[in-house]
Amino acid sequence: MNEIRHEQVPALRRGFRFQWEPAQGCHVLLYPEGMIKLNDSAGAILAEVDGVRSVAAIIDDLCARFPDVPGIDEDILAFLEVARERFWIELR
């Protein structure tokens, strides 16, 4: 699979919806066949995925929000790759 490039723009795939689920106490990704419970890190990253901002902009925003997390940029890229492999997001 191709490596994610910083200029690409991630967007949720059609049929997926990201939201806070009070009953679960976490962010979730809803799709027609079910629901994916997300940990805090995954929720923070997907909250930035709006179909408008680039991977680079998302990394910059999260680095600014969490300046004390070493290697956060690599973690964000790794999560986005997993999300793409699982067909949660697409990259434009």
pLDDT digits (tens, 9 = 90+) for 30-77: 999 999 999 999 999 999 999 999 999 999 999 999 999 999 999 999
pTM: 0.91
Q: So what's the pLDDT on residue 90?
A: 97
Name the β-bridge partners of 20: 27
**Torsion angle, CA of 36/41/43/45, rounded to 10 degrees?**
-120
How large is the C-alpha radius of gyration of the chain?
A: 13
CA atoms within 13 A on the CB side of 35: 11
* 4/75 Cα distance (integer angstroms): 13
List domains and CATH numbers for the chain: 10-87 (1.10.10.1150)
Q: So what's the pLDDT on residue 2?
A: 65
Give the ranges where 1-92 is alpha helix by DSSP (H): 40-48, 55-65, 72-85
